[in-house]
Copies of this chain bind each other. A is one copy, B any other.
């Protein structure tokens, strides 16, 4: 199951984030906290790319091969939007 892998990765990231919270509670050095936050973001980026890959190989193929032009347009538009957003976060 593909979403099992996504779920497992997200739970690992949740654990990582809890570790960051503990660091702040224990008054860790600022730069070390920032580096760990950046590591969490790097891991989130990888999960996003994985989810997009699964999405392209399922919903997007179905929509493009289907008859519904509006649906096809909507699905392609969403990909442009998340790509645009990826450039900004």
> How many of chain A's residues touch chain B, expressed as a range?
35 or more
Those of A12-59 within 8 Å (CB) of chain B: 13-14, 17-18, 20-21, 24-25, 27, 30-31, 33-35, 37-38, 40-42, 44-49, 51-57, 59
Copies in the complex: 4
From known contacts A48-B87, A51-B30, infer whether A35 and B82 are also in contact, taking CB-CB under 8 Å: yes
The residue on B at minimum CB distance from A85 is B38
- Give A40 to B11 CA distance when docked, in angstroms: 14
- Using a CB–CB cutoff of 8 Å, the interface residues on chain A facing chain B are 3, 6-7, 10-11, 13-14, 17-18, 20-21, 24-25, 27, 30-31, 33-35, 37-38, 40-42, 44-49, 51-57, 59-61, 64-65, 72, 76-80, 82-89
